[in-house]
A = this chain, B = another copy of it.
């Protein structure tokens, strides 16, 4: 999804704009609490305010920006509190989607996990964090697709982006956090491929809970408790 802008940009300007802005926010080029005026964004991307407004609605939906009526829009502040919120929700929903992916999906698509895993390893070897996260997100979306639960996908799509923001920040502080999750991720992919729903669910919940706990103090130090 992050790289979707490779598609023709002429179609669906608001969605493409939203994806570009998402990237800017996730990778920290647009900073927490930074003001976004519609005209500024419009000028920067060479479009009018109409599609910009719609793009900002999409970002608002996913919690990446906050709007105050008639006052403006700001990049959502980061905080330990917000981080906790996102991760407590993710534990439940990512567990559920892993279970459903394991139980209902077809073998062919599951084979794609192998490619993703090797891409993850390559990115890690090259210390290419951005690429690592992008492939990681593709893995998540493959899981969502396998689960075939559109509602769940819709909910997780938003959470994923917020989570990635914190994960990328943590990476900048200490690049080796990337290594934390790779082995566990491989095991989860295996469980999904093998059709072991309960196991996939339990491992996913544990992995996310561990990542949550390991990042928590650093997030508080960087952004405050909120």
Residue of B nearest to A155 (CB): B155
Q: A94 to chain B: closest CB distance in Å?
A: 10
Interface-centre pick from A89, A93, A96 (highest chain B CB count, 10 A) = A89
Report whether A151 and B155 are in contact in the complex, using a CB–CB cutoff of 8 Å.
no
- Which residues 75-127 in A have Cβ within 8 Å of B in the complex? 82, 85-86, 88-89, 92-93, 95-96, 100
Write out, one digit per residue, whether chain A residues 52-65 have a CB within 8 A of any chain B CB (1) or not (0): 01100110010100
A191 on interface, CB distance cutoff 8 Å:
no
Identify A89's interface contact among B53, B151, B162, CB under 8 A.
B151
Report whether B151 and A86 are in contact in the complex, using a CB–CB cutoff of 8 Å.
yes
A152 on interface, CB distance cutoff 8 Å:
yes
List chain B residues, Cβ under 8 A from A154: 63, 158
List chain B residues, Cβ under 8 A from A88: 96, 100, 149, 152
Interface-centre pick from A88, A95, A150 (highest chain B CB count, 10 A) = A88
Chain A interface extent, by class:
20 to 34
A1 on interface, CB distance cutoff 8 Å:
no
Residue of B nearest to A83 (CB): B151
In Å, the complex CA distance between A155 and B58 comes to: 14
A135 on interface, CB distance cutoff 8 Å:
no
A6 on interface, CB distance cutoff 8 Å:
no
Q: A208 to chain B: closest CB distance in Å?
A: 13
In Å, the complex CA distance between A89 and B157 comes to: 14
Residue of B nearest to A150 (CB): B85
A-B contact pairs, 30 of them (CB 8 A): A11-B69, A12-B69, A53-B54, A54-B54, A54-B57, A57-B58, A57-B61, A61-B61, A63-B154, A82-B150, A85-B149, A85-B150, A85-B151, A88-B96, A88-B100, A88-B149, A89-B93, A89-B96, A89-B149, A89-B151, A89-B152, A89-B155, A92-B92, A92-B93, A92-B96, A93-B93, A151-B159, A151-B162, A154-B158, A155-B155
